[in-house]
Structure 1
Amino acid sequence: MNKLQHKRSFFIGFFLAVIFFMLGLMIQNNQFFLWTDDFQLVLIVLAFLLPGVVFLALPFVLLLRTCGLLSWFSALLAFIAAGILYYQFIAYFLGGSGVEQVLAGALFGGQAGIGFCLGAWPNNLFKPIRFSSTN
């Protein structure tokens, strides 16, 4: 029987990843009362955020889990890479890309990665465990 590589559900991890990303946006824009003042803006940002989490971060994390390499470090790297890719994708369509977008994507991806790790709680900090399939 294989040991799980994470202690809690991925659903909790991805939920906290979205929340941490939203908190990062609010801190960047100095809008701590965004939840009460402008709920429609929150829904618009979530509509742009969820495809990035579902189509980029989720496959990265599932691949890490399948290969037996899921750890805090690898999950953070996966979220940073997903944040950079998705932020570049969005910036391309909104008319602009550059070093600022790469850094912002890495920052927001890192924040989402911290939220995921706090929610799913991988069993390893930095060293991946390879599980054998022997009985």
Structure 2
Amino acid sequence: MPELPEVEVTRRGLEPYLTQQIIERITLRHTKLRYPLNTQQLALCAGQTIQTVQRRAKYLLLYLTQGVLIIHLGMSGRLSLLKKTTEPGKHDHIDLILKNQTIVRYNDPRRFGVWLYTTESLVNHRLF
């Protein structure tokens, strides 16, 4: 399981590449992670700008124009920055495709990760 330092390193690595980038769409290959993915909610991320990338505990928080994309890497998950033309591998479950032709690809062999989009306040959110 990625520990807190690894999650912070991931956040710091992604932040300069994601801040102020526009999400073109999210591609889901498998909708069953720790919690089933809400495809309708995640589709609302399309067209939004990533304002900042933060971390709360072991969760990555992508603050968008309206709402927050909450990501937990689970036990074996990782995020990679790739060119849009890169073919997905066996355990590549989610692509966050940006307008600048970059993909943030989520790979998780064990599928214990979490991807959740919310427009609600995180103050009393059930995950925290």
TM-score, with length taken from structure 1: 0.25
Q: Which has the higher helix share?
A: 1
Q: Which has the higher strand share?
A: 2
Question: Greater RCO between the two (CA within 8 Å, min separation 6)?
Answer: 1
TM-score, with length taken from structure 2: 0.25
